[in-house]
Amino acid sequence: MGNQKPQSQNIVIENKQTSVKLKYVKLGYHYLISNFMYFSLIPLILTLAHLSLEDLAQLFHRLDLGLVSGTLVCTALTVCLATLYFSWRPREVYLLDFSCFKPEPALMCSRETFMRQTSLAELFNDETQAFHRKIIERSGYGQRTYVPKAALEDVPSASMGKAREEVEMVVFGAIDELLAKTGVNVKDIGILVVNCSLFNPTPSLSAMVVNRYKLRGNILSYSLGGMGCSAGLISVDLAKRLLQDQPNTYALVVSTESMTLNWYGGKNKSMLITNCLFRLGSSAVLLTNKWTERRRSKYQLMHTLRTHKGADDKSYRCVMQQEDEDGKVGVELSRDLLTVAGEAIKTNITMLGPLVLPASEQILFLANLVGRKIFKMKIKQYVPDFKLAFEHICIHAGGRAVLDEIEKNLSLTKWHVEPSRMTLYRFGNTSSSSLWYELAYTEAKGRVRKGDRVWQIAFGSGFKCNSGVWRALRRINPAKEKNPWIDEIDEFPVDVPDIQPVIGH
């Protein structure tokens, strides 16, 4: 009786080992069957690799292959090779359409309204209010940006319920418009990516979208949080990668930010800046890998490039949510922010250059690099002319100072920076969705022609800098577009007097 227990344990261990072996045998079997076509081509490819044209001619002669038989063999070989090529080639990703949420006029917030509401909150003294006024006057914002409903109440207050209402309003508004423009059935959407940096409730924001639109049960859904203003392009990059493994489907990418629960009520000036900067907005983008949708798609995604500088402590800490000395939570912006952003952008465009720049610019850049690094020549670093690579440039509208620096360092014209400056003026910094308001501005101006190349570049906490490169598949006719700028685009030429003093500084 005493030996029965160890024997039973041995039997259990042996059964487990057998089941594990069977598991791997089954996996190997499924893998072999699933990829049988590719394995069967390996001997043929290896054989053909060692045959010359003369060898092939002799083979046909010895087998006495007639014209018909030889044609059939060549056709079969061509089909096999073509199948192999199209199976291994990355799937092309198209942007079917996108939309940007435009809040109702009742949510507009002028500079005077902003100062009145901050005083009603009774959180700030005269010194902090003066700092608010200084920042808002230098921000490059106009008089018609938008804020959440909670910020315009007689006594501004914040709650989880009001934060949900804010996000539902902007996210559902953007998605509703996008679905109306594209006519895509929600059941055909196989991938969902939602990004919002500071508001991450449970259930997640992606679950909120699934519930509202009754998306299918096997959808690949993701909520990205804490990734800052560059999360929009990170979401596009994630969707692109997922589309490589999910044939014939659509990917919905939603970008937004929530302000209701992220108001800072302390006296730390480096945290007060965020109160003045962020505004209400959201975008929804529909991507697809269906080749049948290419004809009606707006753009093809050519490149996504991500740069992360988080390994450097200064970069990691330059934008950080934390408590101040009084225990009040806010997002602190370091004095090193512009320097860190400049370094991140420099790294990103150095990696992007070889993918998009013409050979002439790459040769000049290489010659300059060799001269400085190898021959130790005291010459200024050569900045490639990215205007030769792109017709349109959308820079994240993070602030007037950032746009000024990028315009200067990349030698851009005011025409190239106009979409970013106008977005900053009209809608403010809408975080990760700002790039799409800028592209919408470019479309509303009637500037996008077939074959045009668009460069989107964004940066955010972490510190990260990300680029997305698109190619227009058709001319965008603004008269046929539902666009947040359409009804007022003529009100915002660059030389309007009430805009120029703010932008020109």
Query: For the domain 94-504, what is the CATH code?
Result: 3.40.47.10
Q: Distance between alpha carbon 70 and the CA centroid of its chain, in Å?
A: 50
**For position 62, what pLDDT does the model report?**
62
User: Is 218 part of the annotated catalytic residue set?
Assistant: no
Are 464 and 308 in contact by the 8 Å Cβ rule? The answer is yes
**480-504 tens-digit pLDDT:** 888 999 888 766 655 433 343 333 2
**Per annotation, catalytic residue among 348, 429, 466, 483:** 429
d(CA 456, CA 411): 17
pLDDT at 63 over 70: no
Q: Is 97 exposed, middle or buried (0-12, 13-18, 19+ CB in 10 A)?
A: buried
The active-site residue, picked from 289, 392, 394, 483, is 392
Residue 108 has pLDDT above 70, yes or no: yes
| Cβ–Cβ under 8 Å, residues 425 and 140 | yes
Catalytic annotation, pick one of 396, 416, 465, 466 = 396
Amino acid present at 37: M
Separation CA 215–CA 236 (nearest Å) = 19
Whether the per-residue pLDDT at 349 is higher than 60: the answer is yes
The answer, yes or no, to whether residue 43 has pLDDT greater than 60, is yes
Domain edges within the chain:
4-88, 94-504
Whether the CB-CB separation of 235 and 255 falls below 8 Å is answered with: yes
Better-predicted residue by pLDDT, 319 or 48:
319
Residue 197's closest CA among 168, 160, 235? Answer: 235
Which of 229, 276, 318, 394 is the catalytic position?
A: 229
Task: Look up the pTM and report it.
Answer: 0.82
Q: Is the Cβ–Cβ distance between 268 and 324 less than 8 Å? A: yes
> CA 474 → CA 55, 182, 332, 356, 438, distances in Å?
48, 16, 43, 20, 18
Kindly state the percentage of the chain with pLDDT values over 70.
80
Average pLDDT over residues 315-331: 93
Cis amide bond preceding 463, omega within 30: yes
Range among 27-31, 130-134, 190-194, 372-376 with highest mean pLDDT value: 190-194
Q: What is the pLDDT of residue 458?
A: 96
Percent of the chain at pLDDT > 90 equals: 62
CA 266 to chain centre: 32
Whether pLDDT at 20 is above 60: no
Q: How far apart are CA 500 and CA 495, in angstroms?
A: 6
185 is catalytic: no
The token pair at 276 is 């003045």
Question: Whole-angstrom Cα distance, residue 240 to residue 185?
Answer: 20
**CB-based contact 300:94 (threshold 8 Å):** yes
Instruction: Confirm whether 392 is a catalytic residue.
Output: yes
CA distances 276 to 446, 458, 468, Å, are 32, 20, 28
Average pLDDT over residues 284-311: 96
Q: Is 268 labeled as catalytic in the residue annotation? A: no
Phi–psi pair at 387, nearest 5 degrees = -65, -20
Using the predicted structure, report yes or no on whether residue 200 has a pLDDT greater than 90: yes
For Cα atoms 198, 225, 123, give the angle at the middle one, nearest 5 degrees. 5
What integer pLDDT is reported at residue 75 of this predicted model?
74
In the chain, the amino acid numbered 413 is T
Closest CA to 478 of 469, 490, 468: 490
Q: Is 303 a catalytic residue?
A: no
Instruction: From 429, 445, 448, 435, select the one nearest 483 (Cα to Cα).
Output: 445
Give burial (CB, 10 Å; 0-12/13-18/19+) of 446: middle
Backbone angles phi, psi at 391, to 5 degrees: -85, -30
The catalytically annotated residue of 308, 465, 466, 483 is 308
Inform me whether the pLDDT recorded for 17 exceeds 70: no
